Amino acid sequence: MAQLDQLDVMSRKLLAGKMKGERRSKRRGQSVEFADFRNYVVGDDLRFIDWNIYARLDRLFLKLFLEEEDLSLYVLLDVSKSCDYGNPNKAYYMKQVAAALGYIGLVNYNRVTIAAMSDGIVGETGAMRGRRRVAQMIDFVEKLTPNGPSHLAEACKKFALSHRQKGVCVVLSDFFDKGGYENGLRYVAGGKYDLFCVQVLSPQEIDPDLQGDLKLRDMEDDDMAEVSITQPLIKQYKANLNAYCLSLKDYITRRGGTYLFTSTAVPFSTLVLNYLRERGLLG
Amino acid sequence: MSWFPVFLNKWYAAGAAALVIPALLILYFLKLRRREMPVSSTFLWKKAIQDLQVNSPFQRLRRNLLLLLQLILLMLLLLSFSRPVANHRPPPGKMNVILIDRSASMNARDAGSKETRLELAKREARDLVDSMPKNGTAMVIAFDDSSETLQPLTHDQAALKTAIDRIQPTDRVTRIKLGYQLADAQMNFDPEQYRPGIDPPDVYLYSDGRATDANDVTLRGKLHFEKMGSDKTGNVGIVALSAKRNYERPTEVQVFARLANFGPDPVEVPVQLSVDNEVVEVNGNRSQSTFLLPDRWDRDERDKYEHNGGRAELNSVTFNLDVTSSAVLKIEQMKRDGDGLFADDIAQVVVPPPRSLSVLLVTEGNFFLEKAINQLGLKNPDVLHPDVYESLSTDKRNRYDVYIFDRYNPKVLPPSGNFIYFLNGKHGELPDDAKVKVAKTPSGQTAFLEDVGILDWKRDHPILKDLDLGKLYIAEATKLDVPKDAEVLIDGLKGPLLVMNRTARGTNLIVAFDCLQSNWPLKVSFPIFLHNAMQYLAVGSDMDVRQSFSPGATPTIPRVNLQRAGNPATVTLTGPEGPQKIPVPVNGDFALPAMNRVGLYTTSPPIPQYEQMAVNLLDANESNLLPADHAPGDINAPVEAAGGAKARLELWWWIVAFGALPLLIIEWWVYTRRVYI
């Protein structure tokens, strides 16, 4: 907790907030930080006229300051059935990460929204601010149980429509969606949000330890795949997984987002304290 | 016999196939029961499978490749289960008779074969027993000129094989009739075979088919002729041997041998004579040479050969030598290279020490007879008056070989000897011992014949050889009652005139008339008859060269000879097969056991005249190693040529080793790599 306290959510973009916050905003506003000058227009607040320049140039210029606003942090947490898999469990791991991010956001007076998604948005905290909301946030996260199929597109679309406020959007998911991730990420990538995608996979998915003739059951839709595990098949699976992850990364980075891959075998603290900092989400 | 395999278990295999192949197909079409395993998402797995399949060749075959391999594997296993064999004869039937020839010719070793024909026949017979059906029965009969059931009909294959192994070779000749009769007789025990629809028993004849009685035998049952031997085997054999002492010059022995070549090519054969294993040199040469054309050549071929500058055939050798003591003469053909049969390469004859023939003429006076006897060149013929004869001491009376009684009926006869009786026409009398009776009229008078001419005489008999008796007339002859076992040599127009019979005492020659009452003494035939008679009666006396026995002979030793040897309780007969101790019966004559092998047999203690006995093959039919073309007694019987080739070749393990096992490995490989293939 102490370590988390020292962190804050960073955005590479200067995003406009709704309320006065502790973060520089795109907007010019009242803060101590100078942003620019502009010509005086009748009616401007005389307090911001730069008198020194007036004395030197005999013209009125208005000093503009950067507005300090709060930052919206959206954490999109995948709670589809497919996340309830692996050892350590993916859903549990993602909930831990979401809670940590939420905590960091709250203690830094950011506007934190945690949304749980599966085939849509299945739960949402609403915007929270301040340390006092930590308990509420954790309670929400704790009560989430993985259920239902993944439908990233539907979830992201709903989320994007209902959250117009710009901010940092962190998507925690395994991105195993048979409908494809592109449709979903389209809504959250670009424009409004500073996108961070964290793909969480369990070691069993990265390096499957399977043997024999198996009937693989999809946890979400009970789809069956009959396989006979052989070395070439495992090799091919790994190659496919790798290609899938690379294409996801490519998609995200091309749209200005940040992609981070993690295994649940990586201790959650290492992820939060090191990896997310390295990628610039936390500072 | 064919290289195309025959399937011994085909019906079992077909049955197994009918069960197993559908079972495999059903198993294959049943889904594999897979373990269910939840995964977060299957789409990557499906994609992986798809990717592999896209890159693999034989996609269409892929699904069925394993099935195909398994089917082929299964079929190979079934094929080996069906027990294919190459070189297979049709399987024996339910009832089989195995007839194995063990005669002399079966001891031949064919060109290129390490086994004798008999060994080969035994091996093939054992194979036949092996291939018998489970419920099949068989019997084993071995034959030469006799036959023997070694194993009556049985299911027991081990007993059959033991019986086959027990067959020992002999040097006897082949007579197949007894073998066939024995087979028929044994088969008659089974009334089942007379039922309609029952196949006749299979008779397997393992022989070279050279039987002396091949043309007058028949056999019930289905005959299979397993022909032993090859027609390329060479063999030179001694087919005739004769050795004679001249009774005028007793030390001189003339040995005559005839040889025959049964091989495919003309050969020059040196022949050597040895006396008691010492080779006799004739004119400085250790051997005489003969030149033999193949026996199988016909007249035309021989003529052609000689016409083309070939040598003329010389197929006999004659040796004249002085033998002054008892000896064994051995004639040996020296060309052993490529000679198939050993038994006919040597012929032996036992020559007793020379002794002059001693003849006693008992007569009251007969000018012609005395003259003729004296002219025979005998050393010391004695002429005695009947009274003197009767008064002789036993020793003196017994020391003659031939006794001639001229018109005299002796009261005492020596215990052994040969006798010639000249009967006194009207009043002819004969001792009871002669067995031939003088016919009596109802009034008890001696019956006689008057003015008798000659009807016929046995021209081929040694005594009457070269005689012309056509113009012989007899004024008075005694009428004889001839028993069945006596031989009439001269038949007169009214009754028998010369009768020969054998008794325990010796040979009797009975002339039914007084020579003085005929024109015979004036004929040339008279001295020749006496000469022939002396020569003939000398046979069987100590003086003659001993007859050689043919293999399998069982000579009967007369009691007289045993008495002379001191009536031994047992006699040991030592021959090529080893010594054999035989108990001697207390009375009566004594028959030796069969002397089956060629060679010299000796008795111990030595029995006079039987101290040494030579057994010689001397049989052209046995020496002829050319196998017969068809079965004796059945021209249509199938002929199986048995050669040096392996009798039967089991193929199942070849299929397993070179078919099924590699296939199993391929299948395993396919199974492990099945995603790629």
Nearest to B208 by CA among B115, B111, B100: B100
Distance between CA atoms of residues A48 and A67, nearest Å:
14
Residue A204 Cα to chain centre, angstroms: 25
**Residue pLDDT, tens place only, A232-258:** 888 889 999 999 999 999 999 988 888
CA distances from B86 to B24, B228, B351, B639 (A): 30, 20, 57, 18
pLDDT at B159 (0 to 100)? 92
Quickly count: other Cβ atoms within 10 Å of residue B18's Cβ: 10
Residue partners of B394: CB distance under 8 A and separation at least 6: none
Distance between CA atoms of residues B377 and B365, nearest Å:
20
Residue indicated by tokens 């080893």: B578
Residue B321 domain-assigned (yes or no): yes
Structure tokens at B582: 């035989």
Which of B33, B35, B45 would best serve as a mutation to test chain A binding (most A beta carbons within 10 A)? B45
CATH of the domain at B313: 2.60.40.10
Q: How far is B33 from chain A (nearest CA, A)?
A: 8
Is the Cβ pair A227, B40 closer than 8 Å? no
Q: Do B466 and B373 lie in a common domain?
A: yes
3-state helix, strand, coil in chain A (%, to 5): 35, 30, 35
Length of chain B counted residue by residue: 677
Helix (H) or strand (E) holding B487: strand B487-492
Nearest CB to A213: which of B32, B42, B52? Answer: B32
pLDDT over 90, % of chain A: 15
Residue B47: list chain A partners with CB under 8 A.
240
Residue B231 and residue B627 in contact, taking contact as beta carbons nearer than 8 Å = yes
Instruction: Say whether the peptide bond before residue B92 is cis (omega within 30 degrees of 0).
Output: no
pLDDT at B162 (0 to 100)? 94
Q: Do B255 and B321 lie in a common domain?
A: yes
Is the Cβ pair B44, A223 closer than 8 Å? no
Burial B227-263 (b: 16+ CB within 10 A, else e): bbbbbebbbbbbbbbebbbebeebeebebebbbbbbb
3-class SS at B143? strand
Length of chain A counted residue by residue: 283
Residue partners of B307: CB distance under 8 A and separation at least 6: none
Instruction: Say whether the peptide bond before residue B270 is cis (omega within 30 degrees of 0).
Output: no
Q: Do B347 and B382 lie in a common domain?
A: no
**Residue pLDDT, tens place only, B523-533:** 999 988 988 88
Q: Do B309 and B384 lie in a common domain?
A: no
Residue partners of B507: CB distance under 8 A and separation at least 6: B418, B419, B500, B501, B537, B540
Which of B35, B36, B44 would best serve as a mutation to test chain A binding (most A beta carbons within 10 A)? B44
Q: Do B262 and B325 lie in a common domain?
A: yes
Is the Cβ pair A228, B46 closer than 8 Å? no
Structure tokens at A137: 């946030």
Nearest to B269 by CA among B338, B172, B200, B188: B338
Q: Do B363 and B240 lie in a common domain?
A: no
Residue B79 domain-assigned (yes or no): yes
Q: Do B145 and B264 lie in a common domain?
A: no
DSSP A196-228: EEEEEE-HHHHS----SEEEEEETTT--EEEEE
pLDDT at B645 (0 to 100)? 44
Is the Cβ pair B42, A218 closer than 8 Å? yes
Helices and strands (DSSP H and E) totals, chain B: 15, 36
Residue A105 Cα to chain centre, angstroms: 11
pLDDT at B197 (0 to 100)? 64
ipTM: 0.79
Q: Do B386 and B515 lie in a common domain?
A: yes
Please give the tally of structural domains in chain B: 5
Residue B610 domain-assigned (yes or no): yes
Residue B521 domain-assigned (yes or no): yes
Q: Do B525 and B583 lie in a common domain?
A: no
Last residue of a domain, one of B489, B512, B538: B538
Q: Do B377 and B467 lie in a common domain?
A: yes
Structure tokens at B495: 């009754």
With a cut of 70, list the residues of chain B below it in pLDDT: 1-3, 31-32, 55-63, 87-91, 187-199, 247-248, 250, 355-356, 538-546, 641-649, 673-677
Structure tokens at B659: 């078919």
CATH of the domain at B117: 3.40.50.410
Residue B623 domain-assigned (yes or no): no
pLDDT at B644 (0 to 100)? 42
Is the Cβ pair B47, A232 closer than 8 Å? no
Residue B196 Cα to chain centre, angstroms: 38
Residue B285 domain-assigned (yes or no): yes
Nearest CB to B47: which of A90, A210, A240? Answer: A240
Which amino acid would we find at residue B204? Y
Residue B136 domain-assigned (yes or no): yes
Residue B411 domain-assigned (yes or no): yes
**Residue pLDDT, tens place only, A94-138:** 998 898 888 888 888 888 999 998 888 888 888 888 888 888 998
Q: Do B522 and B643 lie in a common domain?
A: no
Q: Do B517 and B372 lie in a common domain?
A: yes
Residue range of the domain that includes B200: 95-231+637-647
pTM of the model: 0.53
Residue partners of B291: CB distance under 8 A and separation at least 6: B266, B267, B268, B269, B311, B312, B313, B314, B315
**Residue pLDDT, tens place only, B229-243:** 888 888 899 998 888
Q: How far is B645 from chain A (nearest CA, A)?
A: 52
What domains are there in chain A, each with its CATH number? 21-69 (no CATH), 72-278 (3.40.50.410)
